[in-house]
Structure 1
Amino acid sequence: MTVRPTLPPSSSCLPAQPLAGRCVVTTRPAGQAAGLLSALAALGAEPLNFPVIGIQACDPAPLRGLDLAAFELAFFVSANAVAQTLAVRPRADWPATLRVATVGPASARALEEQGFAQVIAPTTGFDSEAVLALPEFSADALAGRQVLILRGEGGRELLAETLRLRGAQVSSLDCYRRVCAALDPAPLVARFERGELAALVFSASEGLRFFLEIASTAGRAMLAALPCFAPHPRICAALQAAGAACPILTTPGDAGIAASIAANLSDPSV
């Protein structure tokens, strides 16, 4: 796979508004793009969210009936998992002895905002592999422990399978599903055809799949013509398979993604 690595986002080498006049299109769910949009706007961009992913709650009955006291560790796969779970089982339902963990800074902040302290989360990587490298997820730490994974429907099985191999007793519960949003692509396509779009940003592989369902042939033309940024190698691989000319791997996190885009779009070769 040919993936262009992100350029070092050194602010000392960039103008104060390196993205001035550039329309950067993000694809996060509605209500979940504010941090990235703000980071892009701070660098002068015209950020435009095209929210291709819709989030739907799963049947709440299994979660309502769950005995949380039976578990010693609860892992939330995303900020969506936090929001959907706590909407059904508020903070007061959670035993003080039940430790909580998650995959990255956004979901950790979501847990902290709900009143959870000492959230376990990786400081780099922000994926299942990074979580599994934490000492709290070692075989010595988890052998014989009851672990609850709160996730989206159809998510990766790597975490659950690895924890079972390490001796944990793992229960997984789907608390939300991702669906293709009902969007009219015509305004976005028109801006692309007028040459007004500078880049596309995909934060999830599902976002790419839904983007192509919505925008169809025009979407593939955008992938081929515009710089496409993603914060994880798996998304870059999906982009390349979908026809992106050269996906660009960014630094993770909202500020890192924005800075990586600024560094690359300021490079004359992009």
Structure 2
Amino acid sequence: MPLTGRTIVVTRPRAQADSLAQAIAAAGGIPLIYPLLEIEAADLAPLRAVAPRLADYAIVFCVSPNAVEHALPTLLAAGPWPAGTRPAGVGTGTEKAWARFGLSHVIAPKERFDSEALLELPEFQAEAVAGKKVLILRGDGGRELLRETLEARGATVEVLTCYHRRPPAEGPAPLLSAWAAGRLDGITVSSSEALRYLWDMLDATGREYLRASPVFVPHARIAEAAQVLGLTRVILTPPADQGLLTGLCAYNWPK
């Protein structure tokens, strides 16, 4: 199998790590789950306030599976999902999260999984959103491209924080230990923010280990962020977990 004996770090938040970890194991690899972002619930009061007027929004966009999972229980506690309000997201993981709450027909790009691709869809063009209300559910911080573009196209946009992202409480010790023992072959990184957390928590020795390791990323924006940090062994894969697995299996691992 293509990953036999290779230890691959899975850095997705813990709730989203199992799928990729299981795929790595099925390909013969040894997944090391090390979430670079710990997810914590945010204050639910703003969601409770929005829930009774959910039908006012033409589109509710969740930036990630975490946004769906932290927002939907509170929103649905106020009543069934309004028929005229369309769910939206980016990525197959977010679509699956919507489906777990019984919501299909999610507005989502099918090839490139980013805000730029979402904004190219017919449902997000000016003629579709002008005069409409859009709710964006996300973690604290993040890109403002979607909000700014939709407002420029005539939509009224409300943004709510429904979860917080934190660096891992345990620090980099598990990674440093694996590197020092020669038991870390590659790292998968699924967001620029997670990569920055990793870089900032490492000391000079850890950063040298990171520079020497192949880093697999599923989006060009993350690859650019890695290169800005001076990482030279950056492998851009196709999107999502399946793309990361494809890149891992196709990599020319040393004998």
Q: Normalising by the residue count of structure 1, what TM-score does the alignment of the two structures yield?
A: 0.88
Asked if the contact 2:210/2:231 (under 8 Å) is kept, the reply is yes
3-state SS of 2:222 partner: helix
Superposition RMSD in Å = 1.7
Q: Which runs of 4+ in 1 moved over 2 A?
A: 90-94, 184-188, 212-219
1:25 matches 2:9: yes
Asked if the contact 2:135/2:157 (under 8 Å) is kept, the reply is yes
1:215 matches 2:202: yes
User: What is residue 227 of structure 2 aligned with on the other side?
Assistant: 240
Q: Matches of 1:187 and 1:74 in 2, distance apart?
A: 38
For 2:150, the aligned partner's letter is: L
Q: Matches of 1:104 and 1:186 in 2, distance apart?
A: 31
Asked if the contact 1:99/1:119 (under 8 Å) is kept, the reply is yes
Aligned residues: 252
3-state SS of 1:265 partner: coil
Identical columns (%): 46
Q: CA shift at 1:21, angstroms? A: 0.6
1:176 matches 2:160: no
Cα deviation, 1:224-253, whole Å, max 9, x if unaligned, reads 111111111111111112221231111112
User: What is residue 46 of structure 1 aligned with on the other side?
Assistant: 30
Greater RCO (Cα-Cα under 8 Å, separation 6 or more): 1
Q: CA shift at 1:60, angstroms? A: 1.0
Q: CA shift at 1:73, angstroms? A: 1.1
User: What is residue 122 of structure 1 aligned with on the other side?
Assistant: 109
User: What is residue 54 of structure 2 aligned with on the other side?
Assistant: 68
1:165 matches 2:149: no
Q: Matches of 1:184 and 1:178 in 2, distance apart?
A: 15
Asked if the contact 1:51/1:181 (under 8 Å) is kept, the reply is yes
C-alpha spacing 1:136/1:48, structure 2 compared with 1 (3 Å): same
Matches within 5 A, 1:9-158: 17-66=1-50, 67-90=53-76, 92-158=79-145
User: What is residue 265 of structure 1 aligned with on the other side?
Assistant: 252
C-alpha spacing 1:68/1:24, structure 2 compared with 1 (3 Å): same
For 2:101, the aligned partner's letter is: Q
Asked if the contact 1:220/1:242 (under 8 Å) is kept, the reply is no
Asked if the contact 2:212/2:233 (under 8 Å) is kept, the reply is no
C-alpha spacing 1:152/1:187, structure 2 compared with 1 (3 Å): closer
Q: Matches of 1:51 and 1:62 in 2, distance apart?
A: 27
Cα deviation, 1:179-208, whole Å, max 9, x if unaligned, reads 112014333212212222111111011211
Asked if the contact 2:213/2:233 (under 8 Å) is kept, the reply is no
Asked if the contact 1:199/1:226 (under 8 Å) is kept, the reply is yes
User: What is residue 250 of structure 1 aligned with on the other side?
Assistant: 237
Q: CA shift at 1:93, angstroms? A: 4.2
